[in-house]
Chains A and B, each alone.
Chain A
Amino acid sequence: MSGNMNLTLKVWRQKNAADKGQFVTYKAADISPEMSFLEMLDVVNERLVKGTQDPIHFDHDCREGICGACSLYINGRPHGPKQAITTCQLHMRSFHDGEIITIEPWRATAFPVIKDLAVDRSAFDRIQQAGGFISVNTGGVPDANEIPISKVVSDEAFNSATCISCGACVAACKNASASLFVSAKISQLALLPQGQPERYRRAQAMVAQMDKEGFGNCTNTGACEIECPKEISLTNINRMRRDFYNAKFFKEEEIN
């Protein structure tokens, strides 16, 4: 192993959901600044396994910043000290030799810890299942170019659609609110003409599910926007509010 950084890691270890959990300190010696943060953890894990200790569990998959699996809370910030990237895109050169790095899981009641740093984010799936779709069956749809969409609107919908459901917004929010995530999903479809027929039903259904999952209230601190690896804008939340109020106070669609 080549590398010249020596680090101290304070890592949250928790055997399972029922376990209380605690911080355990590890020395990470000979770390290369070229490593990604997760590769650094791989190296630590390899050494743990060689010493017949249980490796540190964390979620990760694509390691190129798009799948949204990785989810580490590093030194007080989701995805670590840099902006607009996921944990897997963070490199060790963003830290300095001798640094103490605290690694925690996303903390939210709606994201219970499964093991160590891996949390259960299925609440996000359930919110999407409640209404994050356009009800079209396969086949029998119009030709793609029969629905012209203004480039401005399409681009804005795309901006919302870039959300990777990592949950950093919830992790960053002091209230553990999921508003940025939910509103990005609502926005994408609310902006597009294809999403209009179910627009107000969707907003209500998804907000209701969000509330049911036990996320906190949005108090507009803006932390989510800053920490979002895809730089999803706060304006989505306000768009969600407009649709929700509109639905509740002025529209016929009514769902519980």
Chain B
Amino acid sequence: MVLDSKTPQGPLAEKWNKYKFDLKLVNPSNKRKFTVIVVGTGLAGASAAASLAELGYNVKSFCYQDSPRRAHSIAAQGGINAAKNYQNDGDSVYRLFYDTIKGGDYRSRESNVHRLAEESVNIIDQCVAQGVPFAREYGGLLDNRSFGGAQVSRTFYARGQTGQQLLLGAYSALNRQINLGKVEMYNRHEMLDLVMVDGKAQGIVTRDLISGEIESFAGHAVLLCTGGYGNVFYLSTNAMGCNATAIWRAHKKGAFFANPCYTQIHPTCIPVTGDYQSKLTLMSESLRNDGRVWVPKTKELAEQVRKGQVKPGDLKEDDRDYFLERKYPSFGNLVPRDVASRNAKEVCDGGKGVGTTGKAVYLDFADAIHRLGKDAVQAKYGNLFDMYYQITDENPYEMPMRIYPAVHYTMGGLWVDYNLMTSVPGLYALGECNFSDHGANRLGASALMQGLADGYFVIPYTLGDYLAGIGPKPVDTSHPAFAQTKKDIMDQINKFLAMKGTKTLDEYHRDLGLIMWEYCGMARNEAGLLKAKGLIQALKVDFWKNAIVMGENEEMNMSLEKAGRVADFIELGELMVDDALNRKESCGGHFREESQTEEGEAKRDDENFAYVAAWEFKGENTPSELHKEELIFENVKLTQRSYK
């Protein structure tokens, strides 16, 4: 099968506009004859559901949370990029496009990324019109800041909770459509499978998380907006409920999974304190602007610090290793996320880590406080320091902060074409759950931009083209495929409920996470990945034999919910390892140890790996088939990153 990305012809800057004109339209009076299913209510899902309902489509919207407003987009802190050039500092659509392509280490599609940059400006307008309270200057106009090492100030923000404010905007648009009766909202419903009719996506099967009822819903198209799969690693900055079940089951029904091994590890998270740790909290990477990263110089000193025999502040300058400043003199502590993360893990693996677990490095503000004064530091980072203090009970004004990298975002996801349609006709993927715009590494403040661009400004156009093609023939759940899918799900649930082993689901999840983190995280090598594959396969066998699932289906049952999610994570984990094995280059967020420069830095291999790896599911315990979509760069020149 040849993957057709449907990238329009013509000059880059004109592709999207011309394409929009070429797309087929649905007659206004026919729109109400179509039903669209939208799964997930984060930025992508809520914005898509609202925008499609505004156009006149009937929308059924689903989320596993008790309210659409709790989707994990809410937790994004930093901001959202847009090429408004309000600051007159040389920003443009092309520059945002270029930065994003380069930031993604040349592993994304030029056409998609340019469209994203074009639509970025509309997003800000839309959000302001909805009442999103972005930060402003005294003159009343919008404020911007530079973010994630960008050379221009193009990031719009709402204090430390841009994600929440943007989501509340999209949620309010969704609420308006619910009020108008155009969107039917299903809270606490988890999608468990995709229903295929005649080779097209035509509905979903869900479980009502309160009553346990297994229901099916029919629609002319299904939009998955279910977020990333970072929780494969057990510990991540994702919410506890974030899962891959919707996309994984769609994958098993034929949707290709692209670049699953592309995950982003964020360097400045609050470290793990013990086995019971359930999630990791991110702190804005702006901290690295003034904080200095270091560990004790020797293992012995580190040991003493860990045991509390020596206080970090008492260590002499000579006894400290400012490893980022040492290795990257020109960028220092401001090296990109992946470089900072990888080096932190390296020093900790080398026994120089701090904190009770030894899995942390210091981020020290003593110099900044000395240089700028405590008040200035407080003004800049006060809320982050408070958050840190709240969680760790340590005062960062007096003690250096402890940080450690954590899984933060997954660039991989379901393969989609330019229309955001997956390899299954009628099935779309929007936001983090698709692979499309961030290549092998996502820039700061770009995730919110992508989610909203997909939902507000891409899918309303591209979906119409598909719907106009299939026509407003009514769909309902009477087709035998619905009954069959429902039965398959019921069988699986009964299988889960019969599992009365000895090991809890969290224990399996934790084990999986450790395997993934150790062998398929920031740095990988072939031997490790092969080992991981074996470990995951063994874990899977053990899971189906020894896991404990409590309760029954006809009730709220967190154990049953978790069972399905962990089962899917295990399978997805194996595919991630396969993908990582296949990609024998270092690129973006990860370092393939076999592919490094003489100086030990990441070495990309454009000759052999400038493609999207899209995996096709071929059946249980059967190797997935790799399809390659070659990436063609007509506008940018591929360069190797260097931060020395």
Contacts and interface: CB of A to CB of B under 8 A. Distances in A.
A67 interface: yes
Interface of A: 1-3, 15-16, 32, 34-36, 38-40, 42-43, 46, 49-50, 52-55, 57, 59-64, 66-69, 85, 89, 91, 93, 114-115, 118, 120-122, 124-125, 128-139, 141-145, 147-151, 154-155, 157-158, 161-162, 164-165, 188-189, 192, 194-195
Interface stretch (B175-183, B301-309, B423-431, B487-495): B175-183
Contact of B133 (A53, A145, A192): A192
Find the residue from A54, A66, A89, A135 having the highest chain B CB count within 10 A.
A66
Contacts, number: 224
Contacts of A155: 133
Interface stretch (B217-225, B359-367, B443-451, B552-560): B552-560
Closest 3 CB pairs of A and B: A148-B140, A141-B129, A133-B172
Interface stretch (B97-105, B118-126, B191-199): B118-126
Contacts of A137: 51, 54
Contact of B126 (A16, A69, A139, A192): A139
A125 B185 CA distance: 10
Contacts of B164: 66, 162, 164
B68 A125 contact: yes
Given A63-B240, A67-B72, A114-B556, A150 B140 contact: yes
B75 A42 contact: no
B75 A34 contact: no
24 contacts: A39-B276, A40-B276, A49-B504, A60-B240, A62-B70, A63-B239, A63-B278, A66-B75, A68-B69, A69-B65, A91-B391, A115-B556, A125-B187, A128-B171, A129-B179, A133-B176, A138-B173, A144-B128, A151-B138, A165-B69, A188-B133, A189-B131, A192-B131, A192-B133
A164 B165 CA distance: 10
A214 B54 CA distance: 31
Contacts of B135: 154
A42 B131 contact: no
A150 B136 CA distance: 8
A50 B559 contact: no
B140 A38 contact: no
B469 interface: no
A130 B179 contact: yes
Contacts of A142: 125, 129
B258 interface: no
Given A60-B240, A68-B70, A158-B165, 14 more contacts: A55-B558, A64-B237, A66-B75, A66-B163, A67-B74, A68-B69, A122-B187, A133-B130, A137-B54, A141-B126, A151-B137, A158-B158, A164-B164, A194-B129
Find the residue from A114, A125, A149 having the highest chain B CB count within 10 A.
A125
A1 B124 CA distance: 48
Nearest to A119: B66
B54 A61 contact: no
Interface string B255-294: 0000000000000000001111111011000000000000
B66 A57 contact: no
B125 A63 contact: no
Contacts of B142: 144-145
A189 B390 CA distance: 31
B175 A125 contact: yes
Q: Is the interface of A mostly helix, strand, loop or mixed?
A: loop
B129 A2 contact: no
B130 A194 contact: yes
B399 to A, nearest CB: 15
Contacts of B507: 46
Contacts of B522: none
Interface residues on B, range: 35 or more
B460 to A, nearest CB: 7
B141 interface: yes
Nearest to A47: B504
Interface string B160-171: 010111001001
A67 B550 CA distance: 27
B531 interface: no
Given A42-B278, A138-B51, A138-B456, A55 B133 contact: no
A53 B185 CA distance: 33
B210 interface: yes
B165 to A, nearest CB: 6
B138 A39 contact: no
Contacts of A145: 84, 86, 141-142
B273 A34 contact: yes
A158 B159 contact: yes
Nearest to B237: A64
B480 interface: no
B393 interface: yes
B172 A43 contact: no
B276 A1 contact: yes
B274 A138 contact: no
Contact of B140 (A59, A128, A149): A149
Given A62-B239, A66-B164, A55 B559 contact: yes
Nearest to A33: B393
Interface in B58-89: 65-70, 72, 74-75, 84, 86
